[in-house]
Amino acid sequence: MNWLIIWYLALALAAISLGMMATEICLRLYWRKKEIRRDKRKKALTEWITTYIFSPLSGDTRALIQTNEDIWIIAELAEDFFRSLKGNVIEKLGHLLENQHYYQQHLTALWRTREIHKRMLSLQTLSHYSGFEDEDLFRLMISPREHPSLQLRAMRRLAERHILYLPPVLYCLKRMKSVSWIRAADVLRHFDPICADDMIPIALNREESLTFRLAVIHALQEMHDVRDMDRLLILLDDPNDTIREHLLLAVRSTGIKISNEWLQKALTDASIKVRRVAVRLAEHHATPALFETLYRSLEDPDWSVGYHAAHALFNTNMAGRRLLEMAIRKDVGRAADIARDVMLEMQSKQ
């Protein structure tokens, strides 16, 4: 009797397992078929829109959007078109979409759809719509119930529209609990460079959070204003080594000329991570005035600092190379090994 029960249980489990496998196969086939249909429809819409916007004729557009899925397909296509096209072609595409009540459908989706990826796509699409008011973006930005990604996207659009939105954007960024300096910098960099005068005090204020100080430093880096970066060099005296490190990273990225005084200060910094960035900067900005500091850096406890200091000496002039030869002749400690390796490496490349 017990064996019969076990046999029936095994049979039931096998049937359930086969049923689950069949269900999974059917679902995969369904989604694959749906994906194929979507790809075909996307290809057809791409060809139709391309023909329409580059044709001198207006054409009949009544049947462009046939299903709800078409709205999201066109959203993806339109974003690529808006990014790559210019001039009258963009205007023609905008008129086409307005005539299809396309933007109105996205406006409805933005406020009524629960799926965050669709709401993000709607917001991205509506940013090209002249009828999309700043009030809608402001509403998204200040609402504590909105998804952070949606709030950040709204902030970025407001930053692109006017410099007067800087104070409320800063306020909302500070109120967000989990925002990283990378995402905050991505918002702030979209403001006009004229806003730098209002941003720099945030970076200099030691009472501000580390997140927003770093965000301002990197936002100013993206604005590529050499004068603003010069005004931030005083941060090399900041007690926070992360601030000092990121300032040097921003300076290196912008390619501005840093004075020997500031560079020497960075090369002798107490923090290893600051010295690592400083010595990479010295590879391209070294002068004979820095030779003594770079020569001492050959003995730095961090191998990377000594290696790049040797590169900086080699790249400067013959006097720098003679210092490396002198370190090799002395044959004391790590400096001799690093100097020898760099000399051989660079000579093999010549």
Q: What is the DSSP string of 251-291?
A: HHHHTPPPPHHHHHHHHT-S-HHHHHHHHHHHHHH--GGGH
**Quick one: average pLDDT of 125-146?**
82
Look up the pTM and report it. Answer: 0.75
- 90: pLDDT confidence band, cut at 50, 70 and 90? low
Average pLDDT, the chain: 83
The residue type of 183 is R
Minimal CA–CA distance to 338: which of 305, 289, 315?
Answer: 305
Q: What is the pLDDT of residues 334-343, one digit of tens each?
A: 888 888 888 8
- 77: pLDDT confidence band, cut at 50, 70 and 90? confident
For the record, the structure tokens of 70 come out as 């078409």
- Distance (Å, rounded) from C-alpha 188 to C-alpha 155? 9
pLDDT value, residue 322 = 87
pLDDT value, residue 32 = 85
- In the DSSP assignment, the letter for residue 207 is T
- 238: pLDDT confidence band, cut at 50, 70 and 90? very high
Domain residue extents for the chain: 47-54+72-132
pLDDT value, residue 5 = 75
pLDDT value, residue 63 = 56
Other Cβ atoms within 10 Å of 309 Cβ, number = 32
Task: Determine the 3-state secondary structure of 217 from DSSP.
Answer: helix
Other Cβ atoms within 10 Å of 205 Cβ, number = 12
For the record, the structure tokens of 51 come out as 């023909």
Element (H, E) at 194: none
Q: What is the pLDDT of residues 242-265, one digit of tens each?
A: 999 999 999 988 877 888 889 999
**Quick one: average pLDDT of 168-184?**
90
Q: What is the pLDDT of residues 193-224, one digit of tens each?
A: 888 889 999 999 999 999 999 999 999 988 87
Q: What is the pLDDT of residues 283-305, one digit of tens each?
A: 887 788 888 898 889 888 899 99
The residue type of 40 is K
- 186: pLDDT confidence band, cut at 50, 70 and 90? very high
Q: What is the pLDDT of residues 21-56, one digit of tens each?
A: 888 888 888 888 888 887 887 787 777 777 777 766
Angle subtended at Cα 317 by Cα 315 and Cα 321, rounded to the nearest 5 degrees: 80
Q: What's the half-sphere exposure (Cβ side, CA atoms, 13 Å) at 163? A: 8
- CA dist 161 → 134, 142, 165, 191, 232 (Å): 8, 17, 8, 8, 26
**Quick one: average pLDDT of 114-135?**
77
